[in-house]
Amino acid sequence: MTEDELLRRFEDLTLPLAQWTHRAHVQVAYAYLWAHPFDEALDRMRRGIRAYNAANNVEDGSTSTLAMGRC
């Protein structure tokens, strides 16, 4: 999967949960940082993770393993 496809599937909430790995999390964060100022990239990442978690019935919280991606 290309970085563009990963980002699109993360944003449109179609990325399978099994593919939301630590590596995917870092790739999405990097893509946001490359395209946006830090504050905007951080906001997009936070909002995206919350939406992704909700779409996958994952409890959102700072201690949730899936909240920040699987290692």
Rounded to 5 degrees, what are φ and ψ at 12?
A: -95, 10
Look at residue 46 in the predicted model and tell me its pLDDT: 96
Which candidate, 64, 59, 63, 70, places its Cα nearest to that of 26? 70
Q: What is the pLDDT of residue 63?
A: 55
* Higher per-residue pLDDT: 1 or 28: 28
Query: Which value, to the nearest 10 degrees, does the dihedral of the CA atoms of residues 16, 56, 47, 68 take?
Result: -70
User: Does residue 71 have a pLDDT over 50?
Assistant: no
Amino acid at 20: W
pTM of the model: 0.81
Q: Is the pLDDT of residue 47 over 90?
A: yes
**Residue 33 corresponds to which amino acid?**
L
